Structure 1
Amino acid sequence: MADDPYEILGVPRQATEDQIRKAYLKLVKELHPDVNPSKTAEERFKKVTAAHDIIGDAERRRQYDTGEIDASGEPRRPAWRQGAGAGAGAGARGRGGSGPIFEDFGDMFSDIFSGSGGRAAPRGGFSMRGRDVRYTLDVDFLEAVQGAKKRVTLPDNGVLDLTVPEGVADGQVLRLRGRGEPGVAGGEAGDALVEIHVRTHRDFTREGDDILVELPITIDEAVLGAKVEVPTVGGRVQLTIPKGTSSGQVLRLKGKGVVNATTGATGDELVTVRIVLPETIDDGLSYFLSEWRQKHRYDPRK
């Protein structure tokens, strides 16, 4: 059985919705795979997400608290217990807790079902919630950053249409209410849980809500400064390379990162400069640098 969601989020059972939300956000910021890439943190992040799926939703929290579903969100099977009184006969009805609560299983089910022809039909409001179903969905890097409409093909050739929210992270689980298995006897349908897998990108790497990019520049652009185009997740923009920029220096483009799906804040793009020499060093460049070195020798390794 899954761990208790209250214990996973570190909140008491009487916690308010606001307390649960704050505890969840605190743990997400601490354990998110983009911030904490360890395997232990990844497993805890999944447990935190699953716990919030249960008690972060008012109706599912009620179902969990009343024992209708377990800590993994699955419906509980009725547990028909018997009394512990010694010497009680098998045919005696329990009264005051001294004998079996039900005379026999036939009696037990006759209180819940009625029907004919050997088939039991639900009556008296008995129902059961359908099971949740789980899927995985691969999305492109930019689809995860910008959001997208996607379609999941199910094993039975059915389809699920869903919206990938802007800023969704790798490993995040999307819940589609009522798209799981149908309920029993009029019970509500389960949910579809879709885990997002984000493909890598040729130019971009994500770190939290920031986008990392490596930018090659020429030796003259590094020495003299320049304005160059740089790719961002929203398109190409002009970036000013300051005069005297060194290889490895990081330049920041404010607000060109990822919109956080939880807080709504936008990260930055961090551009790491890499100086690339020309393929052929001609005599003019060689002569100039040899003359320059005689008068301006320095050692960057000191």
Structure 2
Amino acid sequence: MADPYTILGVSRTADQSAIKKAYRKLAKELHPDRNKDKPDAAARFAEVTQAYDLLSDAEQRARYDRGEIDEHGNPRAPYGFEDFQGHGPFSGGGPFRSAQDGATSFHFSGDSEELGDIFADLFGRGRGAGGREYRPRGSDVLYAVNVPFENIATAKPFAINLDGGEQLEVKIPPGTQSGDRLRVAGKGRPGPGGRGDAILELTVTLHPFFRQDGDDIRLDLPIRWDEAVLGAKVRVPTIDGPIMLTVPKGSTSGRVLRIKGKGMARRQGGRGNQLVRLMVDLPQNDKSLEAWAKEWREKNEYNPRSKLGV
């Protein structure tokens, strides 16, 4: 999260009245009940609420201004150390790290008495549209989630542990990328008008040998010199499991073979391709191969660089 003063658009010398006024304006613009068709508004609403939580507490604000705590309310550790305890002023005790799934959640105390008064003012002293009583939902919870590359590539669901221990199976829309956010209704904090939502901000983890190229997946495949010269059928990994691939006779390093339908899941349906680049891998200190190469060199004048004029 950025600097809370910047988030609320106030100066560092702003008094409580100015901070409260700035928050009221932003909360009215960004409240999820008024922006159901704008997923980013909920995350922004949670962000400004967290900023207001910190700056509206005189003690916490003073500690932040002195550099004793960060924008999440966590103690700033001495240089070279980090605090992993998640202590802070925001309802759930600051960031929560799940050791099982690597998800981080940020909680916002939007159901405090003071915030309730603000929402009553914003929405008609406790009355919503048509004179009905306004019952604010609980605040949303923002989770930072690491997603395996395989799940993104195949749009395969995966499970995370929410704050409180509940396990949630998350469906991955085809075409999802790092930085995308998914909304899960009713999995946020409770409130008089029902639970808020869980907002999942996704980061795709790197794969040890696959890499994404648009809708395609690229792979460098080592092959032996005899497989390159004579051709062969070899096992090649794909995101769905290994398959047999035909290496054409006379293949050279850098040649790219295409495997249809083994790439990334597409938003419009179907999948891209897997592009396999052949890399001839020679054994080290193979005396028989060295002897054969010397004999071959003496009998041949083939120059693969002649097309380059050298």
Q: Same fold (TM over 0.5)?
A: yes
Counterpart CA distance in 2 for 1:141 and 1:276 is 27
* 1:281 aligned residue (265, 283, 286): 286
Query: In the alignment, is the contact (CA less than 8 A) between 1:148 and 1:164 conserved in 2?
Result: yes
C-alpha distance after superposition, 1:94-150 (max 9, x if no partner): xxxxxxxxxxxxxx89x8369xxxxxxxx9422334322100122322233331330
- Checking the alignment, whether the CA contact within 8 Å between 2:46 and 2:141 is kept in structure 1 is no
Tell me: CA distance 1:129–1:223, structure 2 relative to 1, closer, same or farther (3 Å): same
Partner amino acid for 2:151?
E
Please say if residues 75 and 130 of structure 1, whose CA atoms lie closer than 8 Å, have aligned partners that are also in contact. Answer: no
The alignment yields a C-alpha RMSD, in angstroms, of 3.7
Paired position in structure 2 for 1:39:
none
| Contact in 2 for aligned 1:248/1:273 (Cα 8 Å) | yes
Q: Specify the code of the residue in structure 2 equivalent to 1:190.
A: G
Do 2:43 and 2:142's aligned partners in 1 also have CA atoms closer than 8 Å? no
In the aligned structure 2, how far is the partner of 1:254 from the partner of 1:63? 35
Aligned residue for 1:290, secondary structure, equals helix
Q: Residues 213-263 of structure 1, C-alpha deviation per residue, up to 9 Å, x if partnerless?
A: 111111111111111110001111111111111112211111111212x22
Q: Does 1:293 align with 2:269?
A: no
Equivalent position to 1:169, from 177, 187, 192: 177
Q: SS of the residue aligned with 1:229?
A: strand
Tell me if 1:127 matches 2:135.
yes
- Specify the SS of the correspondent of 2:234: strand
Instruction: Find the counterpart in structure 1 of residue 221 from structure 2.
Output: 215
Indicate which of 25, 44, 48 corresponds to 1:72. 44
1:59–1:160 Cα change, 3 Å:
farther
Q: Deviations over 1:176-213 (max 9, x none)?
A: 012223344x3x53221011222222221222221111
Quick one: distance in 1 between partners of 2:132 and 2:34?
Answer: 26
Q: 1:113 to 1:290 in 2, by over 3 A?
A: closer
Other-structure match for 1:21: none
> Structure 1 residues 219 and 113, CA, compared in 2 at 3 Å: closer, same or farther?
closer
Equivalent residue letter for 2:185: R
Equivalent of 1:252 in 250, 254, 258? 258
Equivalent residue for 1:112? 125
Code of the residue aligned with 2:274 in structure 1: it is E
Distance in 1 of aligned mates of 2:43 and 2:238: 42
- In 2, the alpha carbon distance for the partners of 1:295 and 1:226 equals 26
User: What pairs with 1:1-302 in structure 2 (closer than 5 Å)?
Assistant: 60-61=36-37, 72-73=44-45, 112=125, 124-146=132-154, 147-154=156-163, 157-165=164-172, 167=174, 168-184=176-192, 186=193, 188-260=194-266, 262-283=267-288, 285-301=289-305, 302=310
Contact 1:218 1:275 in 2 (8 A): yes
Paired with 2:39 and 2:286, the residues of 1 have a C-alpha distance of 73
CA–CA distance in 2 between the matches of 1:63 and 1:151? 20
Radius of gyration: which is bigger? Answer: 1
Are 2:42 and 2:140, in contact at CA under 8 Å, matched by a contact in 1?
Answer: no
- Identity between Structure 1 and Structure 2 (%): 37
Number of residue pairs aligned between Structure 1 and Structure 2: 201
Indicate the SS of the match to 1:232: coil
Cα distance between partner residues in 2 of 1:259 and 1:165: 10
Unaligned runs of 5+ in 2: 1-5, 8-29, 50-120
| Paired residue type of 1:288 | W
Q: 1:63 to 1:289 in 2, by over 3 A?
A: closer
Q: Is the 8 A contact 2:149 2:206 kept in 1?
A: yes
Distance 1:149 1:129 in 2: 27
2:39·2:183 contact (CA, 8 Å) conserved in 1?
A: no
